[in-house]
Amino acid sequence: MNLPHPTRAAQTGAASIDAGQPAGTATGSARDAGLAPDGQRRVALVTGSAKRLGRMTATALHAAGADVIVHHRNSPGEAAELCAMLNARRPGSAIALQQPLDGRASCRDLARRALRWRDRLDVLVNNASEFFRTPLQSTHGLHGDHRADSAIAEALAEEEERALQLFASNCFVPAWLAIELLPALRRTRGAIVNVQDISIERPLPGYLFYTASKAALASVTRSLALEAAPEVRVNAVSPGSFDWPDGQFTEAERRKLEEAIPLARIGEGRDLAEAIVFLALGAAYVNGVDLKVDGGQGLTR
């Protein structure tokens, strides 16, 4: 999603969370949260982290002391620029990995390449996500549709493809990455954080398959929290409104959403990043939760 936002500079520049700031020391203690119990520096993989919210998360984990793998699909410039900034703060502390995540094999590839860097992983943040409308009116039922059979078949195939694309990126890929990386995460007694969405509970009209795919991810979170324990904690964050994707919301829809947020603003990248750092590096006895980071929006919408 591409969102014009008052705090856009903070999200894209990501420099507002710098090393030494409290974002990383979510437990509030003075200890270096980037150091694992074995004394080694923790390594975090954040998918889709060249830009926007993922970028803030990678920056916050880095500020907390973790070394980070900046995964991206198609943002080499932004990923390289972020790594340069992080490596300037702590030499050798960040690398970029490009990988479209579109199926089982691509998840295995990314997992293998991620582990090649340090031969360890402590944190996986499943942040990468597809987001687009799949309105019901695009459903081409056979009744009343007078187009040629071939045109209808093409439309149905396109509709199916879009639904599968949402489920692949938002549910299957996070699950497959977790499965691939679980042995490494067990070794470090690490953590997984899945980025969900508050619309799971109160769906946004027009986003049936996006919402369903995030709801399926919530189920993945709970299953993994059960099965990856006791070595690995698995939790989720559910952001509310953090940014407005280009052209996907009308002015009226935006106003309505903003009016429904008790904290009277949409979220900033650091709001979400701080919650993720807490679940990833602190929160030692928290497993299987869905932490809503929505300014209370879920109470009213």
Ligand X SMILES: NC(=O)c1ccc[n+]([C@@H]2O[C@H](COP(=O)([O-])OP(=O)(O)OC[C@H]3O[C@@H](n4cnc5c(N)ncnc54)[C@H](OP(=O)(O)O)[C@@H]3O)[C@@H](O)[C@H]2O)c1
With CB under 6 A as the contact rule, the residue among 33, 68, 82, 101 that binds ligand X is 101
Query: Can you state the angle between helices 208-227 and 173-188, rounded to 10 degrees?
Result: 20
Contacts of range 10-13, beta carbons closer than 8 Å, 24 or more positions apart: 10/56, 10/268, 10/269, 10/270, 11/52, 11/53, 11/55, 11/56, 11/243, 11/268, 11/269, 12/51, 12/52, 12/55
From 37-45, 128-136, 141-149, 279-287, span contacting ligand X (CB under 6 A): 128-136
Q: Which residue is nearest to ligand X (CB)?
A: 48
Task: For the beta carbon of residue 219, count every other beta carbon within 10 angstroms.
Answer: 12
Q: How many angstroms separate the CA atoms of 71 and 127, rounded?
A: 10
Q: Is 129 in the site for ligand X (CB under 6 A)?
A: yes
Q: Is 104 in the site for ligand X (CB under 6 A)?
A: no
Strand-pairing partners, residue 71, are 97
Q: How many angstroms separate the CA atoms of 301 and 293, rounded?
A: 14
Q: State which residue, 50 or 283, has the beta carbon closest to ligand X.
A: 50
Rule CB under 6 A: which of 259-298 touch ligand X? none
With CB under 6 A as the contact rule, the residue among 42, 62, 72, 233 that binds ligand X is 72
With CB under 6 A as the contact rule, the residue among 197, 268, 271, 274 that binds ligand X is 197
CB 196, CB 238: distance < 8 Å: yes
CA distances from 29 to 18, 33, 75, 281 (A): 17, 9, 35, 12
Amino acid at 221: T
Q: State which residue, 59 or 188, has the beta carbon closest to ligand X.
A: 59
Q: Is 75 in the site for ligand X (CB under 6 A)?
A: yes
| Least distance to ligand X, CB of residue 99, Å | 7
Q: State which residue, 36 or 123, has the beta carbon closest to ligand X.
A: 123
| Least distance to ligand X, CB of residue 123, Å | 16
* Among 167, 176, 210, 249, the one annotated catalytic: 210
With CB under 6 A as the contact rule, the residue among 180, 243, 268, 271 that binds ligand X is 243
Q: Is 73 in the site for ligand X (CB under 6 A)?
A: yes
| Least distance to ligand X, CB of residue 272, Å | 7
CB 205, CB 247: distance < 8 Å: no
Among residues 283, 185, 205, 276, the alpha carbon closest in space to that of 239 is found at 276
| Residue 285 appears among annotated catalytic residues | no
Q: How many angstroms separate the CA atoms of 219 and 9, rounded?
A: 34
Please report how many Cα atoms fall inside a 13 Å half-sphere around the Cα of residue 139, on the Cβ side: 11
With CB under 6 A as the contact rule, the residue among 122, 130, 180, 268 that binds ligand X is 130
| Least distance to ligand X, CB of residue 286, Å | 20
Rule CB under 6 A: which of 150-179 touch ligand X? 169
With CB under 6 A as the contact rule, the residue among 93, 241, 287, 297 that binds ligand X is 241
Q: How many angstroms separate the CA atoms of 176 and 168, rounded?
A: 10
Q: Provide the annotated active-site residues.
A: 210
Using CB under 6 A, list all residues that contact ligand X. Answer: 1, 3, 48, 50-54, 72-75, 100-102, 127-131, 169, 195, 197, 239, 241-243
